[in-house]
Each structure stands twice: as structure tokens, then as C-alpha cells.
A and B are shown apart, each in its own frame.
Chain A
Amino acid sequence: MPSFVSSPIWRVAFALLTKSTLRHWGQAKGSYLLIIAIVALGVGSLNGIRQASRAATANFGLFNEAISGRSDFLIEAPAGPIRETQLPGLAPLSRQPDWHLLPVIEGPFTQVSADGEPQRLLRLIGLDLVAVANLPTFIDREFAFGQAESRWNDWVGAAPRVWISSSLAADSGLKVGDSLRGAVGGRMHELEVAGMLGDADNPVPEDLLIADLPAAQAILTRVGEIDRIEAVVNDRAARQSPARMAEIEDRVRALLPEGLVFRAAAERIAERADMTAAFRLNLTILSLIAILVGAYLILQALDTAVVRRRAELATLKSLGVGQRALFLTLMLESLLIGTLGSILGLGVGVLLASGAVHLLADTVNALYFATSVEAIRMSGVDIATGLAVGIGFSLFAGLLPARDAMFTPPAQILSRGDWSPGFVWLRRPWTGLALVGAGLLCLLLPPLPLAGGARLPLGGFLAAGCGIIGAALLSGQTLVWIARACQRVAVGAATKLALSRLADGSSRHRLAVAGLVVAVAMVTGMVQMVGSFRVSIERWFDVRFQAELYVSERTAGGASAVNGIAPEVLQAVTTGPAVTFADTLYISPVGAPSGRTYLGGVDLGAWSGRVAQIWIKDPGALAPAADAQPAFISETFARRFDLMEGGKITLATPTGSRDVTPIGIYADYGNEFGSAVIAAEVWKQWIQADRAINTSLYLQPGTDANVVRDALRLRFPGLEIRNAQELRTLALGIFEQTFRVTSALNGIGLTVAIVGLALGLFSLFAESAGTWATLRRIGFPAKSFALTAGVEGAGIALAAWLSGTFVGLCLGWLLIYVINVQSFGWTLVWHLPVGAFLGLGASLVVFGFLAGALTGAWHRRGLS
């Protein structure tokens, strides 16, 4: 036994743990299982979200791992694709014996079913298959390319043939020689399945579609372009030696032609991770909130346990058990709960992750980049984080009850002891005031820039956290005020008794109010933000989308899975007889001074006239800077690059650095990285591309838009053609999808608050056991008993709802005017869903009454 165990405090604590604590667990198995389950759920949600978001976003590079082993470095153009005209410059590099170069083009391919419905998004990757076959690592892994059925010479350069993953083959029932239908760039394609990749031992991502480089270029209408050149170092031992790799890197850099850049493969993976950093951080914060409310539940549950063991604790005190030993015993109990719960939570996390991963992948697809799902994996870091967070929060939650146990008076004076001596600080306003003050100070903090161009409103989040908890601690006073006001008009012994107890404002009453206030504030705050977002987007829609038809590429992915509409297809669509004007948008990612952003090409004249916008700064309101291309910029772009009052910014384009200067600022809720739009002709020169992302058609007056739409649909099966109403439904659908996590969180928050209230009432009534026993002895009727308890519950709920709504309004303001502006750069119209607030209040009060009456009745039954 370690020596500390033999010190008296530890000895006593261990004795109590086995003789008392564990036996209480045995007597109330249900309650303790519940507490452990709460910890498990908290840890599970944190870990689940971590693992799911990793699996949903980190699949970049999988193709390398699966096909060629890890690439060691990449050669890329500074922005946009590499032109084939640049390839001769690479000749000296490709003649080296130490590495193999592998040019790659990559683009989205939407698999389409026989009846023309988009089914799933695949990633079409074009490779120089001869080069692949020569890769040393490839040969190691004995992939299916090497098998007899796929002799290179048979098919290189012939009709488009593709290799698909064996899992996709199994899913869609495709065999070698079958044809795979799909759409790219608005055109339909039939590809022939040439073979399967991967098997159970060597799985490849399901969405992988491999074709020969020229075939892929043709399908993607990107002849003459490649996205990057991946390089694999031949000598595998060299990879383990940083010195050797540095030496190779130097040689590569020296041989690199003008206009191309060297990048370590890891760097690129990191960049993808950066892009979703804000998104994943938000999820992490959400799951931390989930754990925090879980900690509150544990606190309430442990507290109930302490209150019910109060007589026993008092006796222990009388027998000379010291304060520190009692504290230690209770903390050991929390430790045990935390450990068991966390271990269980690791398992729960994997379950949750498998459930959530597709939801998250959809969101990432819609918002950031094409992604697919990889298997859920639990890393050592996950295990450590899960255990640390679960145990940490359990200990934290156990602190208050343990303190309370420690200060339990000895049995001799217990009967006249004060209520909850460990909680008395809750009756004093200082902690609450200090937290609110700290919250206000946090508002002054500027947003934290993240790599990749996202911004984290750290100050806003801290302010929200401190403010909510501080205000929650203060709001116990509301309860006292309400109870005192009601006391004057109350009739009936039961109600009067309940009000007198509420007016006394014990620490436990205040704790119950505080927990509920946090939940109410969170829910009202979120409801406002989602509501405001929706109202703003609808308003934006009404103004911005006045064309009759909207044409884009047909794809199963979101915004990121876009290749662009082939120019001849666009030409055919926009010159139809019914079309008076087409507002065509070209867009491309470009480099910005910090992270990346988007550069669009439009008809600037039309944008100042017939294409309606919500203008933050009207066209012409900003004076353009000299020597820069005039542009309209989105609000997000303006805030991000500090251009609200005009100015100039340099963007990295495929043709070098280019300056743009704002001449107007428009509202745009579609893109959190911001965008600038310039004249389409200039865009085509700068970007060296001519594929538009979408076009909006304005029709002749009197034309039936749906007739035109149907005709276009027949002619262009590879295009998505929607009327205004369909577009609106689609966009709001994406919106709902984005906020699904938020609604789930609201649900969790409310459930937790309600369970917390029930637990809080439990300890309240357990603490008042003496009162109840007396009442019973003097013949207080069962009904009055339930009424008293019910009024107490309802009073707590009412006070919490009033304070919580007030705090929630402040939170709404913070979310809309600080957090939202800082992280997305757009302003919203503040919308107050008053009906929802009132409904929440009414249901809380009813629930409070019921919870009170039921727990009260339960306690009365327990008295003998």
C-alpha cells in the first residue's frame, strides 16, 4: 500500500468509501447508474463529435494512402491549376532517380441513377496511370491495377474507363464492363467500369473514382490543366530521416521552375483542417457546453445524495471524523463516478460518432469542401481527453456537495443547523457580480484569427459564458422578490407555506433557479439567433433573387462539389428565345493576405442596375483606389479585410497578384469567407478559366417560367434548373441542415434543465424532511402537501424563466451583434420570437408544478 493510504485521513476516507458510499450505491443502484450515465453521455458527446468531425473532414490524402502510400510533397501553382504549358519546365525534376512525380487532376462527379436523379457525389481523380504503376509503394501494395484484366495498353487514351472502389461496386451493383452514369459541368457522361480497387484488407474510400489523366481532363472539361503534382520519394528509409528529407526538399526547390511552388504534403492536409477549424471549434464548444450542463446534473445528483446522507454525516462528525476526511470521501466518490462514466463514455462516443458522421459530412460538403467518410477511430488522445474531461468535470461537480458535506454540523446540533452550510455563498451576490463584470470585460477582446482565414470570437464566447453563469447565480434573488410579492395576496395554508419557503431563498432554491436560468438563457438566445438568421436570409432572398429561373450544375454535393458549367452549355442556356437577360456568376478561390477568399466575375453594370441587392454601401458610395480593379465586395469580405470605408487589397490569382478596390458593399449570407466580384471579362483573364458556377435567367414578361424550365430540363439533363420557389426551398433546407446541431442542443439543454430541476427539488425536499415529518404529524392533508411542493416547483420555474429570458435577450444581442459579426462578418436583423418565449415560460411553469408535486408526494410516501 502506498504510504499516503496509511495516513489517518486516507484510511478513514477509504473505510467510509467501502463501508458507506458503496453501500449507498448498492441501495440506490438506479440513481447512481443514472449519474454514471450522465457522465458517459457527456464524455460520449464530446468524443463522438470529435471523432465524427475528424472522420468527416480528414479524409483528404486518403487516396494517397490507399493508392500510392503517403505522398511526400506536392508541386502546385500559387493559385488555381497548373497549365500543361508549364510542364516542360518540370523536365529536370522528373528525371531524378530519387522520386516519382504523379500529376493529378481532381473534380466532382455526380453519379446519376437511370431515371436521372443525382445519387451520390464521387471524386473523380485523374492520374497518369503509367506513372502510378511504376511507383515503388504502389507495387508494394499490390493493387488491382496490376492484375491481368487491366493491361495498360488496352485502354490508355481510349474511351473513358474508370476504376471504382469495391464498396461502391457492391453498393450500386456495378460490375466490370458496366456503365456508370453521371454529370459533370452540366453535361452527362457514361463511363465504363474497368475494375475495382481495394478489398477488406486494403479499403479505399467509397467515393473514389480513378481515371486516366487525359480522360479525367476531358470529363471535367479541363483539358490542359492539372491540379497538382504529387511526389513520392522512392527510398522509403529516407522518409524516416528528417535530414535526408530536408536535403531532398532543397534539391526539389532548386530544380523547381518559375511559377510553381513546393509544399510538404502534411502542410496541405493541415490547410484543409484549417478551413474547417472554426466549424469544428464550434462543435467542440457545443459539446463542452453539453458536458458543462452534464456537470450541473451531476452536481445536483451528488448534492441530493449528500442531503439524504446528512444525518449519517452528522453522526460521523460526532464520532470525530474530520472535515478533511469527509471532503476526501466525497471527492473519491466523484472520482469513482467520473472514472466509470468516462470509460463508459468512450464507448458511447464511438456509437454517437457513427450516428453523427454522415450528418456532419453532409454539412461539411455543403459548406466547405467535398469530403467523404472514413471509419471512426478512437485515438490515444481521444481516450485521454475523454477520461480527463469526464473525471475533471465530475470532480468539479462534486466540489460543492463535498464542501457541503465537510461543513455538516455534528449530530448534537444538526437539528438546529443552518441549511446547506456549504452553499451559503450562493446567497451572497459577489460571485455573480464578479462573473458578470468579467463577462463585460471580455467583450472588449478582439476576435482571434484562425489559420485559413476564419475568425474565432473568443471574447464573445467568454463573455457569454461568464455573463450567463454570473447572471444565473444572481437570479436567485428574483425568486425571493416574486415570492415576497405573492405572499401578500396568497390564500391557503399550503400556498403560504410554499411562498414562505421560497421567500426564504435558501441556497438550494437558488441553485435550482441558477441551473434553469442557464438553460432558458441558452435556449432563448439560440432561438433568437436562428430566427434572426432565418428572417435575414428570407429578406435577402426576397430582394436578391428576382430572376425567374436559376441554373447550376447538377451535383449531389453542396457548394464545394462544383466543377463549373461548360461554356458551350452556358451559351446554349442563356441565349434561349424566352431569356431577356442572364446574370452569370463565375467564381474561384483566391489567396488573400490572410487565408483564402473568393473572387467572382459578373456583369458589373447589371449589378448596379437590374440585379437587385441589399446594399450595405450603394454602388459608387465608395471611391475606388487608383491602379486597382473596381469590385463589389460582400459585407463579410469588407469586415474581414477592413474595407468598409473603401481601400485596396491584393489577391493571389493564377496569373499573379492583382489589386481590387471596392466600389460598393452587398449583403451575402452564402459565404463566410467573403467574396469580391469584378467584371466577368477581367475575371476570365485573371483566373484563366471560363466555367461559370451558375446563371440566373430573367424571362420575357408573360412567359410561363415553369414551361421554360421544363424545356431546359429536357434539353440539359446535366443541369439543375429551378424556379425561384424551388431555389428558396433548397436554400432554406441547407439552412435548416446547418442549424440541426443547434436545435439538437436546444433540446438537450432543456431536457437537462428539467431533469436538473427535478433533482434540485429532490434535494430540497430531502433537506426539509423534518418539516415534512412534522406536517404529517399535525395532519397536513396529502393534497395540500402536493400543492405546497408544486407551488415551490412552479415558483422556481417562473423565476428562472423571467431571469433566463432577460439573460437570453442579452445573449441574443451578443450572438447577433458580436459573435456572429466577428465569426461570419455579416449583420442580421434581430428577430424576437415572442410566442416561443411565452410558450417556453408556460410549459416550464407547468412542468415545475408537476415536478414539484410529484417529488413532494414521493418524499411524503417515504416518511414513516
Chain B
Amino acid sequence: MIDFRRRPCVITHNPRKEVLIKTVDLCKVYSSGHEQFLAAKSINLEVYQGDFTVIMGSSGSGKSTLLYLLSGLDGITSGEVMFKGERIDAYTEKELTDFRSNKIGYVYQSINLVPDFTLLENVAFPGYVAGRSKSEVNEQALSLLHQMGIGAQAGRLPSQVSGGQQQRAAIARALINSPEVIFVDEPTGALSQEQGAVILDLLTEMNQNNQSIVMVTHDIQAACRADRLSVVKDGTIDGILELGKYAPDQLKARENQIFMFMSGEER
């Protein structure tokens, strides 16, 4: 039976790897009207370089919130967020924009391509923002789109392609500036089983090429791709599972392992 008793938070430092992102007592309060809602409660978490980190949790548990905070897309209420030892929560607007432009890529839960840009323009745009040469960026954007299997749709507007194709374009966009880490929020949520698998394979392949990835999901199948799994519950880290590198033949075993972990039997 699934045990939802609250467990003390565990920080397992792994000396083999370099710490990419680290949070200390990170809190986030949402206020709507007169109500206040504590969506992240004193979170202490480490994300390692080269890892495929997965954040799991049920709907409304605070996964997206955490991802926004880790990526510097939203302001924190208290605590610290460090990227390679630098406090990004203390960044000035200029430092923050540089950070967003060069260090990270973000794939939203709701995809969010610019509706008036073609897929190619959407993918290339962060490259322009980073001040890179136009032709180089365009070339790379096109090759990324091909890599994602949507090169043929490069000239279309987002409204003219399918949800899965949009999702792939969004990932390509996140990759254009070769960021140190990409954040992916629920990439398979709106997709069919097969489409979801394609995306996950893409991400896995990227990770094997040493791309750090932080992915949010509530889908166990997706979570199987993780090197390391953090479970979020009610705005806190409820547990961390080290899995090691994924290989396709381990899928079933991992699924079981994660299921057990989630049910609290392995901890």
C-alpha cells in the first residue's frame, strides 16, 4: 500500500559527480487575492552535471514550481538557488537574462512556441538573442529540427503542426544555444504512448551525449529514463532514488523499482 507519511528529507551527496544546481531551504509562496499558498517548502536538492534528473510527484505537488525556481524563470520567496556555486536568486536582471540565454534551455509543460514565428524562427530566436551570427544559428536550427524529425515542417507556424511536433520544436529551441542544462516540464503529458516514447528516446540520446537534463513528470514510464529520481510531495522533497544510467532492456525492472520506491517500500 502506498504510504504517504512524511519522511525526513535526505541529502545524498554523490562525490563522483560535480554539482550543477543546489538549493538551500528554498521556499515559494503564491498569493492569490488574500490567500497564500506555500508551493515549495524548504527544499534542499542537488542536481549533478551530466545526470538525467527526474522530478516526480502527483498533480499539484509543486513540480513545475520547483522547475521554474531551479531554472531562474521565477523569483523565489526565500532560501538559495545556486548554479555552479553562484547564487542565481541574487542575479541582476542583466545577469539573469544572460543566464537564461546561455546556460539553460526550458521546455514548458504547455509547449509555448511564439505563435507568430515559424518553427525555424522559434528554434533560432534564442540564438539571435545570444548574439550569434544569423546564418550559423539558422543552420543549426535547421539541423536540430531535422534531428528531431521535423525538418520538413520548419517553415510552418506552430498552429499548423501537431502537438508532438510542437513539443519537438520546443526541445530543439531549448538546445539551440547548447545550454549546460535543459529543463523539461512534462514532455509526454499531452502525447500518445508512441509519440511520448519518441521524445523520451530523444532526451535519453541527448543525455548519453552528456547533456544534463532536469525533467518533470508524473508518468512512471518517463521516470524510468532517470539516473536519479526526486519525488516531490506537497511542496517538499519526499525522497531520492539513485538509478544509474538507463538501458532499454532495464525498462521493466526500473518500472518496478520506481513503483516500489513511490509506494515507500524501498525506503
| Bound pair (A, B) | no
Residues of chain B having any CB pair with chain A under 8 Å? none
